Structure 1
Amino acid sequence: MKLDSSRSLLIRLFALAVLVLVTPLSILSLRALGEFEQGMVPELDKKAAAIGRDVAGQVSRALGYGIPVDRLVGVDEFFSPMLEANPEIRYLAITDPVGRVKFINGVDRDELEPHYRSADMNAVGADGVKSSIGAYMDLALPLTAGQTVAGHVHVGFDQNHIATRLSDILADVAVVIVSSLIIAFEILLFVVFVNVTGPLKLLRDLVNRAGHGDFTHVPTSGSDDEVGRFLRAVQGTLRQLDGRYRQLMAYVDEVRSGHFDKGVVAKVGDVADRINFLYRFSPSGKPEPMVERRATDIRLALFLFVFAEELSRSFMPLFAGRLASSVPNVPIDLVMALPIALFMAAIAIASPLAGQLAERVGPRRLFLIGAVPATIGSLMTAASFGMFDLILWRTLTGFGYAMATMACQSYISHAVKSDRRAQGLGVYVAAVLTAGIGGNALGGVIADRIGLRPTFVVSAILVVLAAMLVSRLLSSADPAPGEDQPRPPGGRHLLRLLRNWRFTVLMVFAAVPAKMALTGYLFFLVPVTLSQQGWEVAEIARIMVLYPLVMVAVSPLAARLADGLGWRAGQVAVGGLIGGVGLLAPLLLGGGPLSIVVSITALGVSHGMSASPQLALLPDLCWTECRRLGNTRVLGFSRFVERLGSVAGPILAALFIPLWGMSGAVAGLGVVVLSMAVVFAIASAAYGSGPHIETEEDPA
């Protein structure tokens, strides 16, 4: 029996969750959609009739003053707000009694006039007449001047409107179901690892220790299930054994101090020495609780925190664009890029500080500290009234995001062994990716249904839930501050990392361009481009989900290859080249949706190949620096450097748009990323391989 085997249990539980969630949701959704379709047709007819009567009444009033139909003025201006307020109405038109189009807005007159001229317009009664004209359903209502029919008002809507609406609703339902499954999977993973796999692995380690005579620790378990009761029974047995040992040692001491026969004293001493040689018990007087830190301990909290931030990913530049009027004399493209760039700048500034705080206060406290500005920032973003306060609150949110994510990385780096470093950090990457899938897609649906501002309130609620989870779960498992050796404080010591040429090349020519592509293209150019092409927020979110989906498929394999083959620098190099080439898709495919799909997919493959190996490569490249400064501080400084690319990405893309347009901006960003990736690929050939690559002696 394998005590730590939980994959089959997790699979069975997830299959049960699929049956419980997907089956009833699918049945209910299909029934609701059927009723929606049946009710939508008459409602659309009523709306078209109401708009037509309103137009006919106002135009007839003008005709009653003796103004001929063809002499009416301002009709287009009269039609435009009606069409904007009712997107399901495709056109409005006014014809004379014989069907000649006098005014039309929404479609070309040549598309409709032949039908009007050939139709029997005398059959149009007071209730109007519906007719099919190609892709449109036309409702004609009479225009009267006194008792005379002076023409007709035509209201047209797309015959495929209902089918389009149904397909959009189906897509939203599918997004909700998939997001629910992702959340269910993360919760099940948390439950299985915390309540089953973790305790059983702990028991396995204790059994192995006991097999070697080590009885210094006892298991801990706060659960009241079968596993928890079993661990408490083992705990009681070990404490009883420890008590018997204490009694035996007390008896030995009594014999040594009071027995008159020296031979007996010597034999008792030999027995005691033999026991102490073969078995080890806690010197503190009682067994100490054994706590095993695992990367999965903090995964659910990290998932919820990143999920909260990802909710606004698909519409952040569009939300900023609505407030752009508060910043005069600045190009709107640059204004839309600023909240993203300054959010990333806040993360870059806070990351080194967060790395130092993680060692001083511990990951748990740092996460809780970071949750405060993240919550306030999300709530106040929802209430933003201008660009300047939006930037302020997004910057505050960025500080909180940096502290919380750095706390998670610090916890994971302390919890995993060096030979499984890439797979341990893969837990971090996997949580971020699954949160990106569910949060991005569900955020688009939420924003489309309840609005952009309420979505930020939902984000704040999720951050609070993540903080509550960390406060409860890691209260007894938080690594103690200062576990590493003392390190000299100050940024001067961290800047010495740049003297390590391998570290500098990795950061400048691999990490920085990767972040430039992510923020400049995916976070900024994709939403802006698709919005200009008429895509809704929910549709933008669905296509952006391609990035984390591809990364989820690629990252686990990349992490295993990195640990198994030791080919970390090569994977980072190949990933960078793929990402740069992918951004050149608009040069070959134009700026349509296909080129966006290709670029996003290539970006997902690129970062999936390089994300975990890049993090795992740092301790090998900076062995002496990690030993002197600590893994967490080195990681924090690397995050600071790569976030400079996150800041530069959207600003650079915004500056490219006036020069070359949207497609040209994507291609220009691709040229920059590809050029830097080529430099890293050439330089990485001199890296060597194996642990502790950086062997140069550190000067005193």
Structure 2
Amino acid sequence: MRLDRSRPLLVRLFVLAILILVPPVAMITFRALGEFERGMVPELDKKAAAIGRDITAQVERAVELGIPIDHLVGVDEFFRPVLMANPELRYLAISAPDGRVLFVTGAPSADLEPHYREAGQATNLTIGDFLDLALPVQSKGERVAAVHVGFDQGYIASRLSDIFYDIAVVLVASLIVAFEILLFVVFFNVTGPMKLVGLVVDRARRGDFSHVAGGLSGDEVGHFVRTLSTTIRRADDQYRSLMAYIDEVRAAHFDKSVVERVAEIADRVKFLYRFAESGRPAVLRERLATDIRLPLFLFVFAEEMGRAFMPLYAREFGQSTGLFTTEMLMALPITMFMVGITVASPWAGSVIARLGTRRVFLTGLIPAAGGYFLTAFADSVVQLIVLRIVSGLGYALVTVACQTYISRATLEGKRAQGLGIYVGAVLTASICGTAMGGVLAERVGFDATFVVSAVLAAISGWLVHRLLDPGAEGGKAADDGDGSASDKSLFSLFANWRFTALLLFAAVPAKMALTGFLFFLVPVILWRAEMSLPEIGRTIVLYPLIMAILSAVSARISDLTGWRTGLVAIGGLIGGLGLLLPLPQLGLEPSMAVALAIIALGVSHGLSASPQLALVPDLCWIECHTFGRTRVLALVRTVERLGSIVGPVLAAAFIPIWGLTGAVVALGGVVLVLSVIFVVCSFAFGSGLHLVAEEDGE
């Protein structure tokens, strides 16, 4: 049974989920926002009046002490904390009876004074986009001044817009999670069992009744599978009854011709039909690459929730020391998480070979989920760094276990399909996790968000524990090599200069840009630009969105044209040039320049990521045969992560020299230079001897 036959069912279920979730959520949202707006206006009026009365009382007390109203001192210092504590207020002012502005904080006096002169003693004014509430200052029964409290009419609209976007993010994330759950349910409860049914029926058609389908469930498909299995077991029982009767006849009958005839019948039955030798039909099980997709999605979702604010969370603990600047302390949690992944990845494969993917997934989940949970209670940068290392170790074990499971469950001719399952789960989890993490951090705080991450990771482990068969670990992947080469000799790959150029001038700078710019600099820059955490999360989500769109297209172009080197080169140049967009000479507003740089980075990696991996066997196919493609690609990922480690540290080192936007440009310059070197090297990729075996043969 082909897997894609379940796609129409999956599409119909997903459309049904959209119809069920979107309309009621949209109706509730618009009604709630309308009620919020109607209730917000009078509450803002009350708050403005309360603040105005408090300020008026302070001013009247000063006037009663004999201080002339126009000789008050420190009014700006008095107004400024009030404005900072109440973001809906735009300005505070004190005006004379004739409308002259005596003191103002938060707005130009020239914009207010003509309206005050014209309005006289009116208490409510509309000045452009501001609503102005005027409260009189009395002294001995006379009006000596007026205190003005101004708030932006667009504040309510902006708050409603923020809430609307947050609800939209939650809704989209819910739809993606619903799709992942439906995908898992369809493949695990429908496609998988029916594929086994097809195999069992095909065996039975050829007279083989030695197996029954495994993976039973309580739904209609499970009932059908149990009925088929019961039928096969009955056939097995009838066969054994027949063989027992034949043995009885052969042992008890004295007529030689009858015995020979019975023996002939028995031989004929055994020739036409096959039954289990053990006396009981074996349970046929088959792993699907999609079995691990939902646990992988939830686990990566948990990690990505901290993506939008990790440097900001570290900043809450960080003060510069003699050894590290504040910026470096903000970058170290990201760097050390990558160090944990780099340390654990090389030996994860050997651990999987001994324990199996299921056990390694559950084992890696302990430090990962534990690290997320304890991060919520960290009270120093040192603790945060240690916990990020621990989480990185667990993250490496879990993701390598998932990759291995998918590789072993995918047929040799469908490696791209298996890789697509892994990449698809990671990208959708990045989109959901980053956006949802920003919303949760804004609403419930950083600490609670990390607790939610730990819960999601624990749920992914529960799914693996309950749903994956411990005995279905599978065998060795088809591209694991012949096993004759040692890990030490694997480094002879660097003698292939094309392989080395690909790593140092394409793979490493791509990871430097990803971690140094997207993971570290972007949250800090956008936070300094007074963007909220949900807005930061929505901006960072541009990267995986572009990646998800372009990666499939570039992979198809790469496979059809074979133009892998060109795509990698163009992607590197786009990434380096994109990071130069914050240059002051270009005149772009900082947050806009950062958003465009994120889009450029998504285009860069979307074009180059898949062709880059596909290019490795092209450049060293004999080495891939000798060492195994899995080990060669593992070496590629390990070297890549050196770029992930260097990126945040390099960016943090640039900040004290050139500032935040200057650090982006400097990092972009490094990436661009390395990419240009790769472009120059790529022109020689197609000429000369470059295979180890060919060079030795000469």
Give the TM-score normalised by structure 2.
0.90
Contact between 2:506 and 2:568, CA under 8 Å: does it hold in 1? Answer: yes
Contact between 1:621 and 1:694, CA under 8 Å: does it hold in 2? Answer: no
Residue number among 586, 608, 611 corresponding to 1:610 in the alignment: 608
Partners of 1:493 and 1:544 lie apart in 2 by: 40
- Cα 1:15–1:320, aligned 2, differ >3 Å: closer, same or farther? same
Aligned partner of 1:429 in structure 2 is: 423
Structure 1 residue matching 2:519: 3-state secondary structure: helix
The Cα of 1:582 is off from its aligned counterpart by: 2.7
The Cα of 1:681 is off from its aligned counterpart by: 4.5
Structure 2 residue matching 1:104: 3-state secondary structure: strand
Partners of 1:478 and 1:497 lie apart in 2 by: 34
Aligned partner of 2:465 in structure 1 is: 471
Aligned partner of 2:312 in structure 1 is: 318
Contact between 2:511 and 2:641, CA under 8 Å: does it hold in 1? Answer: yes
The Cα of 1:238 is off from its aligned counterpart by: 3.2
- Taking the TM superposition and a 5 Å limit, the aligned residue runs for 1:649-660 are 649-660=647-658
Contact between 2:312 and 2:330, CA under 8 Å: does it hold in 1? Answer: yes
Deviation digits for residues 118-145 of structure 1, max 9, x if unmatched? 331xx35xxxx11011121111112233
Question: Which segment is superposed worse, 516-525 or 105-114?
Answer: 105-114
* Residue 529 of structure 2 corresponds to residue 527 of structure 1: no
Partners of 1:561 and 1:257 lie apart in 2 by: 71
Structure 2 residue matching 1:144: 3-state secondary structure: strand
Contact between 1:358 and 1:481, CA under 8 Å: does it hold in 2? Answer: no
* Residue 147 of structure 2 corresponds to residue 147 of structure 1: no
Amino acid at match of 2:336: L
The Cα of 1:382 is off from its aligned counterpart by: 1.3
The Cα of 1:345 is off from its aligned counterpart by: 1.4
Partners of 1:270 and 1:505 lie apart in 2 by: 71
Contact between 1:356 and 1:632, CA under 8 Å: does it hold in 2? Answer: no
* Residue 331 of structure 2 corresponds to residue 333 of structure 1: no
Structure 2 residue matching 1:323: 3-state secondary structure: coil
Amino acid at match of 1:388: V
Question: Which segment is superposed worse, 415-424 or 439-448?
Answer: 415-424
Amino acid at match of 2:177: I
- Taking the TM superposition and a 5 Å limit, the aligned residue runs for 1:7-86 are 7-86=7-86
Contact between 2:332 and 2:385, CA under 8 Å: does it hold in 1? Answer: yes
Partners of 2:484 and 2:2 lie apart in 1 by: 45
Question: Which segment is superposed worse, 612-621 or 34-43?
Answer: 612-621
Aligned partner of 1:191 in structure 2 is: 185
- Cα 1:563–1:356, aligned 2, differ >3 Å: closer, same or farther? farther
Structure 2 residue matching 1:143: 3-state secondary structure: strand
Aligned partner of 2:360 in structure 1 is: 366
Amino acid at match of 2:674: M
The Cα of 1:35 is off from its aligned counterpart by: 0.7
Contact between 2:485 and 2:626, CA under 8 Å: does it hold in 1? Answer: no
Contact between 2:93 and 2:147, CA under 8 Å: does it hold in 1? Answer: yes
Aligned partner of 1:597 in structure 2 is: 595
Aligned partner of 1:161 in structure 2 is: 155
- Taking the TM superposition and a 5 Å limit, the aligned residue runs for 1:228-239 are 228-239=222-233
Partners of 1:445 and 1:614 lie apart in 2 by: 34
User: Structure 1 stretches of 5 or more lacking a match?
Assistant: none
Contact between 2:371 and 2:390, CA under 8 Å: does it hold in 1? Answer: yes
* Residue 345 of structure 2 corresponds to residue 351 of structure 1: yes
Contact between 1:422 and 1:563, CA under 8 Å: does it hold in 2? Answer: no
Contact between 1:298 and 1:470, CA under 8 Å: does it hold in 2? Answer: yes
Two-structure CA RMSD over aligned residues (Å): 3.3
Partners of 2:276 and 2:133 lie apart in 1 by: 89
Partners of 2:418 and 2:291 lie apart in 1 by: 12
Residue number among 502, 509, 514 corresponding to 2:510 in the alignment: 514
Amino acid at match of 2:361: F
Structure 1 residue matching 2:217: 3-state secondary structure: coil
Deviation digits for residues 439-460 of structure 1, max 9, x if unmatched? 1111111111111221111111
The Cα of 1:256 is off from its aligned counterpart by: 8.6
- Cα 1:289–1:625, aligned 2, differ >3 Å: closer, same or farther? farther
* Residue 553 of structure 2 corresponds to residue 553 of structure 1: no
Contact between 1:361 and 1:481, CA under 8 Å: does it hold in 2? Answer: no
Residue number among 221, 230, 234 corresponding to 1:227 in the alignment: 221
The Cα of 1:70 is off from its aligned counterpart by: 2.6
Aligned partner of 2:438 in structure 1 is: 444
The Cα of 1:527 is off from its aligned counterpart by: 1.2
The Cα of 1:388 is off from its aligned counterpart by: 1.4
The Cα of 1:479 is off from its aligned counterpart by: 1.0
- Taking the TM superposition and a 5 Å limit, the aligned residue runs for 1:118-133 are 118-120=118-120, 123=121, 129-133=123-127
Partners of 1:171 and 1:276 lie apart in 2 by: 69
Structure 1 residue matching 2:5: 3-state secondary structure: coil
The Cα of 1:253 is off from its aligned counterpart by: 7.4
- Cα 1:494–1:242, aligned 2, differ >3 Å: closer, same or farther? farther
Contact between 1:419 and 1:563, CA under 8 Å: does it hold in 2? Answer: no
The Cα of 1:349 is off from its aligned counterpart by: 1.2
Question: Which segment is superposed worse, 347-356 or 306-315?
Answer: 347-356
The Cα of 1:668 is off from its aligned counterpart by: 2.5
The Cα of 1:609 is off from its aligned counterpart by: 3.2
Question: Which segment is superposed worse, 608-617 or 51-60?
Answer: 608-617
Aligned partner of 1:170 in structure 2 is: 164
The Cα of 1:586 is off from its aligned counterpart by: 2.9
Partners of 1:263 and 1:94 lie apart in 2 by: 124
The Cα of 1:287 is off from its aligned counterpart by: 3.3
Deviation digits for residues 261-303 of structure 1, max 9, x if unmatched? 9988888778777766666555555433222221111110111
Structure 2 residue matching 1:312: 3-state secondary structure: coil
Deviation digits for residues 593-613 of structure 1, max 9, x if unmatched? 333332222222332333344
- Cα 1:564–1:256, aligned 2, differ >3 Å: closer, same or farther? farther
Partners of 1:71 and 1:145 lie apart in 2 by: 15
Deviation digits for residues 402-427 of structure 1, max 9, x if unmatched? 11111111111111123221221111
Aligned partner of 1:671 in structure 2 is: 669
Contact between 2:565 and 2:615, CA under 8 Å: does it hold in 1? Answer: yes
Deviation digits for residues 157-193 of structure 1, max 9, x if unmatched? 1111111111111111111111110111111111111
Partners of 1:698 and 1:406 lie apart in 2 by: 34
Amino acid at match of 1:105: T
Question: Which segment is superposed worse, 418-427 or 581-590?
Answer: 581-590
- Cα 1:495–1:215, aligned 2, differ >3 Å: closer, same or farther? farther
Contact between 2:529 and 2:591, CA under 8 Å: does it hold in 1? Answer: no
Aligned partner of 2:451 in structure 1 is: 457
Amino acid at match of 2:281: P
Contact between 1:547 and 1:600, CA under 8 Å: does it hold in 2? Answer: yes
Structure 2 residue matching 1:506: 3-state secondary structure: helix
Question: Which segment is superposed worse, 557-566 or 673-682?
Answer: 557-566
Give the TM-score normalised by structure 1.
0.90
- Cα 1:59–1:185, aligned 2, differ >3 Å: closer, same or farther? same
- Cα 1:100–1:147, aligned 2, differ >3 Å: closer, same or farther? same
Amino acid at match of 2:540: M
- Cα 1:350–1:559, aligned 2, differ >3 Å: closer, same or farther? same
- Cα 1:280–1:653, aligned 2, differ >3 Å: closer, same or farther? farther
Structure 2 residue matching 1:293: 3-state secondary structure: coil
Contact between 2:431 and 2:545, CA under 8 Å: does it hold in 1? Answer: yes
- Cα 1:81–1:416, aligned 2, differ >3 Å: closer, same or farther? same
Question: Which segment is superposed worse, 275-284 or 103-112?
Answer: 275-284
Partners of 2:6 and 2:206 lie apart in 1 by: 26
- Cα 1:620–1:528, aligned 2, differ >3 Å: closer, same or farther? same
- Taking the TM superposition and a 5 Å limit, the aligned residue runs for 1:397-408 are 397-408=391-402
Partners of 1:155 and 1:363 lie apart in 2 by: 64
Contact between 2:317 and 2:379, CA under 8 Å: does it hold in 1? Answer: yes
Contact between 2:577 and 2:672, CA under 8 Å: does it hold in 1? Answer: yes
Aligned partner of 2:114 in structure 1 is: 114
